[in-house]
Amino acid sequence: MPELPAKFIEKMKLLLGEEEFNLFCESYGQEAAQGIRVNPLKISRDSLVSRVPFSLRPVPWCRLGFYYSPDDRPGKHPYHAAGLYYIQEPSAMAVVEILQPQPGERILDLCAAPGGKSTHIYSYLGHTGLLVANEINANRVKALAENLERWGARNILVTNETPEKLAERMPAYFDKILVDAPCSGEGMFRKLPEACLDWSEGKSQRCAAMQKNLLAQAASMLKPGGVLVYSTCTFSPEENEEQVNSFLQAHNDFEICPVENDWLAPGTLAGTVRIWPHKVQGEGHFVARLRKKGDAGAGRILRAEQKLWSGRKSGVDKINDVSPEVQKLFATFCRETLNIVPEGPYLMFGDQLYAVSDRLPELSRLKISRAGWHLGTVKKGRFEPSHALALGLHAGQWKRTVNLRADNEDVYRYLKGESLMIQGGEQGWAIVTVDGFPLGWGKLVNGQLKNHYPKGLRWG
Ligand SMILES: C[S@@+](CC[C@H](N)C(=O)[O-])C[C@H]1O[C@@H](n2cnc3c(N)ncnc32)[C@H](O)[C@@H]1O
């Protein structure tokens, strides 16, 4: 049980009243709930449930989510490395269910690392539309990109930008925006007791000022008729209902779009929701859904988009800017190794080849971590396929497979970076799979599988 800060206890007593506060306190004696969320782009819910050795129970507010038991170790199963599920705190799964992403939409996840909500959004976009996943912290953006790649995401733009810079470049650009804001983190004290040490009375106020700015920037990037979801993992009203209230006062072109959900408790601001650890199996969260008034098809917006898409100097033009030599190398690789040719347009970033979404905004002078589906690296006249390419492929799309079983030690040897002896005389790039699901690349040379599982991802 975490040692809760005295001032936090005082604050919660006032917020909840004596009787409910006692129930709230009792919840700290129970274990934090743990969850995984299925990747529907790779496997169905039922198929995953029947294959994994975990005891799974559905999360009521997320059709892709399951609780697992404290004895399960989903992070150590090869299916995790294959991107068949994401380990996520169950309450956090409510946020994207409330956003309701639809295929074909352009969606911004403004505070995205490490990618829990981004992978969830992408599950509903499929390989359509565009997900812009932004993270201001350069270290955290790396984990975000890796998690999206493991998910098999292709129609993505991963940026490492300030909200101001994005807002300047993409006015009224998105159908939906998620602001999963940095916050005082009170809702995570049970799961991460060390968060208590980082808490102070003034923290909520400091966070509230930052959140106010994030919301204002997000508002300007949303199309009329678009939806903005704001979420935190804190109990503090200054960062939740009061934050939304003052946003609505400053932005009279927004209104609350009420969340209807039988499982989640109403916030003190009508139409918003709270997730309480003493009411459901999950940690503390707040979610508000806001709608920008107006019609997304208005002429004003069409003109704004045209402006972005005209003068495509370094954005879309660059996409075609792949030299004939690289095109030839890639075509040869596809012919020898794949049964498909990943659809362009293509873009080179230095020596990295990408298949990008044809809906990308102008990219120049933005700090980009990933600009679509990373296909591989061109080095010294050779094309080397990327991990993201392997993880984004579906069954039947490659020629050579080395299939390993989840219950066989070879799969762990592969994930540790070891070479494997292989029967059969095939040579060349092969997709290494676990029970048919891609894990990464290997190269078959004279009965040996040379390991190309990325060094930074290898299991210790
Ligand atoms: C609550 S976490 C996001 C969790 C993430 N949405 C997920 O589901 O995995 C908030 C993130 O916002 C980032 N952040 C902090 N200040 C920011 C800012 N001004 N603009 C954008 N992101 C910011 C933090 O680095 C942190 O990664």
Give the domains, in start order, of the chain with CATH numbers. 89-297 (3.40.50.150), 319-391 (no CATH), 401-457 (2.30.130.60)
By DSSP bridging, strand 373-379 and strand 352-355 are: antiparallel
pTM of the full predicted structure?
0.95
Higher per-residue pLDDT: 300 or 123: 123
pLDDT tens readout for residues 192-229: 988 899 899 899 999 999 999 999 999 999 999 999 99
Residue to probe by mutation, ligand 1, list 135, 184, 217, most atoms within 8 Å of CB: 135
The rounded mean pLDDT for the chain is: 92
Match 């080395």 to its residue by tokens: 402
Average pLDDT over residues 361-386: 92
Residue 250 among known ligand-binding residues: no
Average pLDDT over residues 185-190: 94
CA proximity to 364, closest of 159, 163, 219, 134: 159
Looking at residue 316, what is its pLDDT? 41
d(CA 178, CA 134): 10
Average pLDDT over residues 241-268: 95
Q: Which of 169-178, 247-256, 422-431 has the lowest mean pLDDT?
A: 422-431
d(CA 6, CA 19): 18
For the CA of 115, the nearest atom of ligand 1: 9
Residue 115 among known ligand-binding residues: yes
d(CA 180, CA 163): 13
- Dihedral pair phi/psi, residue 114, rounded to 5°: -85, 0
Contact 21, 214 (CB under 8 A): no
Looking at residue 296, what is its pLDDT? 67
Catalogue the active-site residues: 233
- Provide the total of helices (H) and of strands (E) in the chain, helices listed first: 15, 23
149 Cβ neighbours under 8 A, 6+ residues apart? 370, 374, 387, 388, 391, 392
The CB-based long-range contact list for 318-323 (8 Å cut-off, 24+ gap) reads 318/347, 318/348, 318/363, 319/344, 319/345, 319/346, 319/347, 319/356, 319/358, 319/360, 320/345, 320/346, 321/347, 321/348, 322/346, 322/347, 322/348, 322/353, 323/348
Average pLDDT over residues 403-431: 95
Average pLDDT over residues 65-83: 97
Q: Inform me whether the pLDDT recorded for 5 exceeds 60.
A: yes
Contact 221, 167 (CB under 8 A): yes
Distance (angstroms) between ligand 1 centre and the Cα of 407 equals: 37
Residues recorded for the chain? 460
Q: Is 146 helix (H, G, I), strand (E, B) or coil?
A: helix
Distance (angstroms) between ligand 1 centre and the Cα of 88 equals: 15
Residues with CB under 6 A from ligand 1: 92, 110-117, 135-137, 140, 163, 180, 182, 210, 214
